[in-house]
Amino acid sequence: MRGFLSITLVLSHLLLLTDYGFSHPLCTNMKSPFTPKTPLVFCEYNGSVCCNSTEDMQLQNQYKAMNVFELGCASLLKSILCSRCDQFSAELYRIESAPRKVPVLCNSTVSANSTQSQVTEVDFCWKAWDECQNVSILNSPFQLQGGLPLNSTSKLADIWQSKSAFCNEFSGASEAGELCFDGGPVVLNHTQNLSPPSGMCLEKIGNGSYLNMVAHPDGSNRVFLSDQPGKIWLVTVPEEGSEEPLAVDKLNPFLDLTDRVYSDTQLGMMGIAFHPNFQQNGRFFVSYNCDKVKSPECSGICSCNSEVICDPSKLDSVNGAQPCQYSSVIAEFTANGTTLQPSLATSAEPLEVRRIFTMGLPFANHHGGQILFGPEDGYLYFMMGDGGSNGDPYNFAQNKKSLLGKIIRLDINNISSAMVIAGLGQWGNYSVPGDNPFDEDKELQPEIWALGFRNPWRCSFDSERPSYFLCADVGQEQYEEVDIVTKGGNYGWRVYEGPFLYNPPTSPGGNTSASSIDSIFPVMGYNHADVNNSIGSASITGGYFYRSMTDPCMYGRYLYADLYAGGMWAGIETPTDSGNFTSTRIPISCAQDSPIKCSTEAASSLPELGYIFSFGEDNRKDVFILASSGVYRVVRPSRCNYTCSKENVTALTRPKSIPPPFNSTSRRSSNPLMELVLLILSLLLLFGSSCNL
């Protein structure tokens, strides 16, 4: 019985982790809602909407063309047409399936045998039938979705013989956990009551300075760590509370690219990403900076060129470097050179399989460099800063022909000859996903996914809700921000710095007016005045939604930090899935039984983090802080005497990590049957330990 209860707790936790719930506000074109410059006249929605004044007029003309005189039906049809302006229209029209002409109508409690007296206010589909079943509606959205013949006498009752048949076509049960349309703007009234954490407890498990941590794709408790000079190590993460540190074999890195990586203050190895099918194909990718003076193979197209109205010969030198002396590179490598099974590889050959991307940089700073694979689409996302210098003088971030100040989305699995002929993919070997924003905005370079960034520093997809793609963007002199990034979104720089209008000191590249863009403002952030440190500066470091149950009171909060201040913030969304966040600075302490002491003061519980470079997340969703003083892990709050009422309740649900596969020196059969047996044994051990067998 005890084992059965343990399995139940584990399975319940796994089900919790796979319940994505609702998405944040999103329009049918996959863009974020915006505040229109001109208030909508026909569809009188307030606040953030998905329609501008032109689209509002188009909906009004469509409404007039239907020529409906029955007031009840006419009012209902107007609300249905205007639902396209709702900030949650992507959910209402279920855009992941076949495109709908009618939003999913609420029909929460009725069945085929229900009577009129049982209909509740939320049963909007029944109301639609009652009001419109015998009305002749030319070009109605119901006709268009149902494929009815378009003539002046078509009625709903001519095709759907009953109320239940009609609602089977157009409704969706609201209690199923999905949004539906009830005649007015969607309001999310479901909230998640999370106890505010009293503080966050850390343990220091490693020395050394790293910029990236990536969980091993095999699901084990191993991670890849990379440093700025150009090395990657494969490391096993010890159990929380085991008092064991990370064992990093500095003399035997997984990959060493220090011979071609140029490392300086804002230059070096900036990102690593493993192909979604790494276990089968062994492909992985590295983002780094190179110096063409030292490496002839470094040279590529200069991002400052005539196409973006920039003459590199007129740029001022930075620290003695000439424009485009340094480049941002994405290169592909393979783990198949040392083993036939990529998961068994403990090293990789430092030979590039393919140069994916190379772009010369106008200045020596602000070039992001992180790379991530989208968890749903499998495309490679590349975070690129505005190219550097004070105030983005050439306005690269708003220039739609420049890749600077952008988030770029590439297909690295297909290199289409048609793309090459069309001039797409000019920066390297890749193709452009057909649904990138350029399919709607022809002025955009095809690679661009979103624009208007100064220097996106650490982005992540929420492991529970992949549509939540959050990026921290470093500010200039006033505000540090966190953005929810969506297709084609413009995040304002350098028109705005966070929510504030920005006045650039120089503008050789011209200006962009605030009225000419629909800027998306940050969902979280902080003013420089709120950060106190010895150097009087601020620079945000983005993190993760905390999805581990190690600290259940931190669960569901987005963690981020400041590079210089050593401060930590936790953002909470209220209501849940609304896109509305509030964030607070939280105290942090270090466990006294930490494997490595966190402070030089014996009695101090305050960790001496130094600079916070990045965050990491392992396969168990534990979150790590990568700082100049070492590697830290978020652990149980009670280890720092913080109070969390949920800690004891959820302690039994913590999933066990999958052990790493045997290394190349182990006795391992290549017989597929034997591998299956080993896999089954591993699963039995996993569940056996959970069940206390």
* Beta pairing class for 496-497 and 500-501: antiparallel
- The CA distance from 24 to 307, in Å, is 36
Written as six digits, the tokens of 290 are 């190179």
Give residue 662's pLDDT band: very low, low, confident or very high (50, 70, 90). Answer: very low
pLDDT of residue 501: 95
> What pTM value is reported for the model?
0.80
pLDDT digits (tens, 9 = 90+) for 428-442: 899 999 999 998 999
Q: Which of 78-87, 226-235, 542-551, 661-670 has the lowest mean pLDDT?
A: 661-670
Q: Is the pLDDT of residue 319 over 70?
A: no
**Domains of the chain listed by start with CATH number:** 23-176 (no CATH), 200-653 (2.120.10.30), 662-693 (no CATH)
Give residue 141's pLDDT band: very low, low, confident or very high (50, 70, 90). Answer: confident
Q: Which of 7-11, 85-89, 378-382, 511-515 has the lowest mean pLDDT?
A: 7-11
- The CA distance from 562 to 609, in Å, is 11
Q: Which of 149-158, 310-319, 365-374, 486-495 has the lowest mean pLDDT?
A: 149-158
Residue 227 C-alpha from the chain's centroid: 23
- More confidently predicted of 72 and 583: 583
Residues 6+ apart with CB under 8 A from 447: 403, 406, 408, 409, 410, 424, 425, 427, 432, 436
Pick the closest to residue 635 from 581, 594, 664 (CA basis). 594
- More confidently predicted of 4 and 414: 414
Give residue 144's pLDDT band: very low, low, confident or very high (50, 70, 90). Answer: low
pLDDT of residue 209: 96
Q: Using a pLDDT cut of 90, give the percent of the chain over it.
A: 54
* Dihedral of alpha carbons 502, 504, 507, 509, sign: negative
- List the Cα angle 101/103/106 in 5-degree steps: 145
pLDDT of residue 421: 45
- More confidently predicted of 57 and 532: 57
- More confidently predicted of 32 and 458: 458
- At 589, give phi and psi (nearest 5°): -135, 170
- The CA distance from 1 to 448, in Å, is 55
pLDDT of residue 412: 95
- More confidently predicted of 560 and 137: 560
554 within 8 A of 634, measured Cβ to Cβ:
yes
Q: Is the pLDDT of residue 224 over 70?
A: yes
- The CA distance from 321 to 310, in Å, is 17
Q: Using a pLDDT cut of 70, give the percent of the chain over it.
A: 80
pLDDT of residue 426: 73
Q: Is the pLDDT of residue 491 over 90?
A: yes
Give residue 671's pLDDT band: very low, low, confident or very high (50, 70, 90). Answer: very low
Residue type, 641: N
Angle between helices 672-691 and 2-17 (to 10 degrees): 110
* Alpha carbons within 13 A on the beta-carbon side of 408: 34
pLDDT digits (tens, 9 = 90+) for 258-313: 999 999 989 999 999 999 999 999 999 999 999 999 988 898 899 998 889 898 88
- The CA distance from 483 to 231, in Å, is 30
C-alpha to C-alpha distances, 666 to 336, 662, 682, nearest whole angstrom: 18, 6, 16
pLDDT of residue 169: 85
Give residue 9's pLDDT band: very low, low, confident or very high (50, 70, 90). Answer: very low
pLDDT digits (tens, 9 = 90+) for 520-554: 999 999 999 888 766 668 999 999 999 999 999 99
Written as six digits, the tokens of 248 are 């990093």
Strand partners, 500: 497
Q: Is the pLDDT of residue 326 over 50?
A: yes
- The CA distance from 42 to 79, in Å, is 10
Provide the 10 A C-beta neighbour count for residue 126. Answer: 24
Q: Is the pLDDT of residue 630 over 50?
A: yes
- The CA distance from 663 to 237, in Å, is 16
pLDDT of residue 571: 96
pLDDT of residue 39: 86
pLDDT of residue 1: 42
Written as six digits, the tokens of 213 are 């941590």
Q: Is the pLDDT of residue 250 over 80?
A: yes
Residues 6+ apart with CB under 8 A from 264: 364
Q: What is the residue-averaged pLDDT of the chain?
A: 83
pLDDT of residue 273: 98
Give residue 368's pLDDT band: very low, low, confident or very high (50, 70, 90). Answer: very high
pLDDT of residue 291: 95
Q: Is the pLDDT of residue 669 over 60?
A: no
pLDDT of residue 91: 87
**CA-atom Rg of the chain in angstroms:** 27
Written as six digits, the tokens of 674 are 């034997």
pLDDT of residue 338: 63
Q: Which of 156-165, 166-175, 543-552 has the lowest mean pLDDT?
A: 166-175
Interval 390-409 mean pLDDT: 96
* Dihedral of alpha carbons 242, 245, 246, 252, sign: negative
320 within 8 A of 208, measured Cβ to Cβ:
no
